[in-house]
Structure formats: structure tokens, C-alpha cells
Amino acid sequence: MSAARMKKPIHPAWVMSLFWGLIACVFFLGPVSLTPSLSFAGALFQLTHIVLFITGTLMAYFLCVQTPCSTYCFGEERGVNPLIGLVLCIGVVGNLLSLYNNGMAIQGIHLSHAAAYRTMKAQSLLHGGEMNSGCLSIAAFLMYPAGFVGLVAGLLHYERLPQVARLFMFLFVALMFCAAILAGGRSPILLLLVFMAISCYARTRLGMPWMPQSRALRMGAGLLLVTFAVYSSILWTVRAAESERNTTQSLQHAANVWGAANVWGAAPKDYLLATSKWLHKPGFTMSVLGPVFYLTQSLSVTEKILLAPDKIPVLFGGYHVDLIAAALRHIPDGARMLKENYDTLLQANIYGYFTGAWGALFIDYGYFSLLAALVWGGLAGYSWARFKQHPDLITGIFYVFWIYSILISFASPPLGFSNSLMVFAWFVLFYLASQGAPLLLARLKRRSLTI
């Protein structure tokens, strides 16, 4: 049994403060001009939620004051290797089902076909359209998130992981990447990168190297990052090339697709256009505009929420939680409710994940979003305290999840981004199974000795 010296992990309050400080800096100083700009009321809306989140983290800290454990012992996690292999296997099967369904739905394997298919689905869902999902599609939706907990646990426990489980980890990442491309999206790949990055950080807090001493793993992680960057940069180029659009035409096309005028409210600043012209790369402008827009648009959309001509509907999770929205679409009254309320949001140019965590919570729960921010902070702070006091695999994976929830807050609350509710559900299931695994192994050992 080996032990490693525990290092203090960064507190969620610091992560939230620094992350939203970065978003604000990019919003005001970055190469893209967004309208409407952030007003005092909008800034107060954002700041109030962030302060309540931080308050929740501090409350959790004072409720969990215990003597910290200074070492992390690998031998304390018995029976987790089969569980890690199992959830990775479930994630692999879910990705295979997703690949099969998306492959059957699009006409040919091409980025333009995948993008067109994604746009068609997004338009239907944003207008509250009913889902025609088969059993395989539902199974894929429920199963593939299991692989994320396997990825996190596998990285934290890599040195004790069997070769078969390591193979399933590589296979899950590869299939997840392919499934995301075939679906015309990037968010599942972003989840992979974020979970991997935070897991590597958690390893350093446990006194281990930031990355396991595996050449294949390091090369694979580097290849994933480079491929994601290249894939992201060419998406706008591919979409614009179909109609030979320039930057202005691409923005106007996006507005026409979503059925609202000036839906983006984004324009490149003069120095970005000049840089693109100097580089003789017309697509450079859109390559920069896209990521900046995704990161900062929630601040601008906050203004749209506060200035909406009609009362913002309360959707009780149907706006940002994929699983709740999917369940509502299978209910006649639920589908009608979504359609009517989505129409209201679309008329105000409020749609998709650009609302950010605080805007989406407000749409789904009204002013109870303030309570949701407090609870979110409490859970994040509790996970930090437990990880700091009792560093092991289970406290580590939950710390990773709640730090992940902060890093996706530019787009969504913790359970809303790319099926994150099911991701969290698999984290909880993994925890429950891990509590019973040692007892099960002990029973099997006793039974084998009596035979």
C-alpha cells in the first residue's frame, strides 16, 4: 500500500470568482463587441448570484470543520477497479448506440451534413417540437454519460487500473469524440477536456504526478486537444463556405436560421478585422469571434432577460436540463407548454445555453435562482471540504464534478450542459456502488473459501 502527501485543493469560491472575472475582462476588453452591453442592473444580477454561491461554499466549510487527513492511501479503495471498468463499458456502449443512430439519420459522413442535422434538431427542440426518439436513442442518452465518471475515476486511480479498464478509457474518449463530430457539436468534447484537466489537477493535490507516466495517455490527451482546436476552428469555415459567406453574411445567416433579427448582437472590433486582413485569412475573424461569443454572451443575454417585453416564463428545469425537457416533450401538455414558453423566449432572442448559469436558473426557477445559487455553492464547498479532509477516490471525483460545474457556468447551470444531469447521476450511482463493493467482494471471498 502506497501513500502520498495531500496538498490543499483550490477552493470553489476562488474558482468562481476568477472565472467570472475572466469572462468580464474578455467581455469588455476582448476583440468582439456584444450588444446589449452590461448595465448596472445586469451586473448586480450576476454579482448577487456569485456572492450567494460564495456564501454557500463558506457555509459548507464551517459545517464540515474536522481534522484534515494528510495522506492519500491507494490501498483504501478496494473493489473500485471493476466499477471503473463497468461504467466505462456502459459509456462505450452508449457511444456506439449514439454513433449508430446519428449515422442512420444523416446523409453521408461529412461535416456539412452533420451541421445541417444539428441545426434541424436544434430548431425543432427550441420550438418545443416533440421528440421521435427510439429505444436505442433513449438508451444512448442515458448510458454514454457513465463514461465520464469512469474517465475521472480512471485518471485518479490510473496506476492501479487494469489494462482492460485503461483500454476502455481510451475507447470511450475516441468514441465520444467521433459521436460529437457526427452529431455536429462540440460540447461533449469540451466535457472530455474539462474533466481530464480537472482530474489532472486533482492528482497533483493527491501528491501524484499531474499525468500518469503513460506515453500513450499523454500523446492521446495532446492529440485530443489539438484535434478539438482544429475542429472548432474549421466549423465556421465549413458552414460559411457552403454559401460563400463573409463574416457579416454568416452572422446574418445565423439570425435567419434562428428566426429572429440581430439574434447574435455580436460584431468583430476593427483591430480583429484588420488582423484578419493582414493575415490574408478571412476565416480568422469567425474563428476568434465564435469562442469569444460563446464565453461572454451570457452577460449580454442577461440584459435581454431583464429587458424582455413579456414576462419570462418559469420552466421548472425544462429550459436547461436535457432530461426534464425530454420528459416534458413526451407529455402532451408538457410539449405544448414548452412550445408556448420557448416562443416567448425566442421572441426576446433568449435561447440555447448562451444565458449562462444565472440566466438559465432564473428562467427555470424565477427568483428561486438565488436559492439555487446558494445550494450550488454549498454542494461545491462541501465537496472541497470532504476532499481536503478525507482525500480518496470518491471525494476526489465529486470535487472534480463541482469544479467542472463552475467551468461550464458560462453556458449553463451545473446540471444543464450537455446532459450533465445524467453525468451527475452516474457519479452518484458510482458512489453508491463503491460503498457496497467491498462488502460484496468480502462475501465472495468467504464463499470461495468455503467451497
325 pLDDT band (50/70/90 cuts)? confident
∠ CA 170-172-175, rounded to 5°: 105
106 pLDDT band (50/70/90 cuts)? low
pLDDT digit string, tens, across residues 234-256 = 766 665 554 445 555 555 545 54
Spatial separation of the C-alpha atoms in residues 320 and 419, rounded to whole Å: 9
The CA distances from residue 245 to 251, 255, 319, 444, in Å, are 9, 14, 32, 65
120 pLDDT band (50/70/90 cuts)? low
The answer to whether the beta carbons of residues 56 and 376 sit under 8 Å apart is yes
Average pLDDT over residues 132-137: 75
Q: Which domain holds residue 256?
A: 3-450
pLDDT digit string, tens, across residues 1-57 = 345 566 889 999 999 999 999 999 999 999 988 888 899 999 999 999 999 999 999
pTM (2 d.p.): 0.87
pLDDT of residue 80: 87
pLDDT of residue 39: 92
Peptide bond into 36 cis (omega under 30): yes
**3-class secondary structure for the chain?**
CCEEECCCCCCHHHHHHHHHHHHHHHHHHCCEEECCCCCHHHHHHHHHHHHHHHHHHHHHHHHCCCCCCCEEEHHHCCCHHHHHHHHHHHHHHHHHHHHHHHHHHCCCCCHHHHHHHHHHHHHHHHCCCCCCCCHHHHHHHHHCCHHHHHHHHHHHCHHHCCHHHHHHHHHHHHHHHHHHHHCCCCHHHHHHHHHHHHHHHHHHHCCCCCCCCCHHHHHHHHHHHHHHHHHHHHHHHHHHHHHCCCHHHHHHHHHHHHCCCCCCCEEECHHHHHHHHHHCCHHHHHHHHHHHHHHHHHHHHHHHHHCCCCCCCCCCCCCCCHHHHHHHHCCHHHHHHHHHHHHHHHHCCCCHHHHHHHHHHHHHHHHHHHHHHHHHHHHHHHHHHHHHHCCCHHHHHHHHHHHHHHHCCCCCCCCCCCCHHHHHHHHHHHHHHHHHHHHHHHHHHHHHHHC
450 pLDDT band (50/70/90 cuts)? low
pLDDT of residue 449: 59
> Which residues neighbour 140 within 8 Å (Cβ) at sequence distance 6 or greater?
94, 95, 97, 98, 101
Residue 302's nearest CA partner among 229, 244, 387, 361 is 361
276 pLDDT band (50/70/90 cuts)? confident
Residue 95's nearest CA partner among 179, 187, 186, 221 is 179
pLDDT of residue 332: 77
Question: What is the pLDDT of the chain when averaged over all its residues?
Answer: 82
Q: How many domains does the chain have?
A: 1
pLDDT of residue 259: 39
pLDDT digit string, tens, across residues 141-181 = 999 999 999 999 999 999 999 999 999 999 999 999 998 88
